[in-house]
A = this chain, B = another copy of it.
Amino acid sequence: MTGAGDALDQQLWDFVYLYDAAYDRAARAAGLSAAQACLLDALTRGGRSMGELADELLCDASNVTQLVTRLEAGGLVSRIPDPDDRRVRHVSITPAGRRVRRAVGRAFDFPSGRLGRLTEEERLQLSGLMAKLLAPDTSPSS
């Protein structure tokens, strides 16, 4: 349909496929599922409460409950009730969780391995293109 663009479409598909597979392997090597690794990663960024995590991971709140329950059982995160609003539970990563997260990062060879093939200039090029692709959507919503 897109004519000459098909080759690029295929390349992006392959890229994402490889990336996902590499991440899954890395997580599994550290004893986690990809979803668990994602949650652990989200914790080091913005999300803190269960609800925020659900928003960030684009999934149901009850799914987060289960993920956190399993991670908590493994001692990687802990639930901390919010003193100001006792409905809210903050999730915080434990030292063990931080260690495992770093292990995932180390095992995730995609960036280091593949990206290492590019020159500094090419990386800048790629970064520029990504910035353009990732810019917030400007299409009408609601």
Contacts and interface: CB of A to CB of B under 8 A. Distances in A.
A26 B35 CA distance: 21
Contacts of A2: 111-112
A133 B111 contact: no
Provide the main secondary structure of the chain A interface: helix
Contact of A130 (B8, B131, B132): B8
Interface of A: 1-2, 5, 7-9, 11-12, 14-16, 18-21, 58, 105, 111-115, 117-118, 122-123, 125-127, 129-135, 137, 139
Contact of A5 (B15, B16, B115, B132): B115
A15 B133 contact: yes
Nearest to A139: B113
A19 B111 CA distance: 17
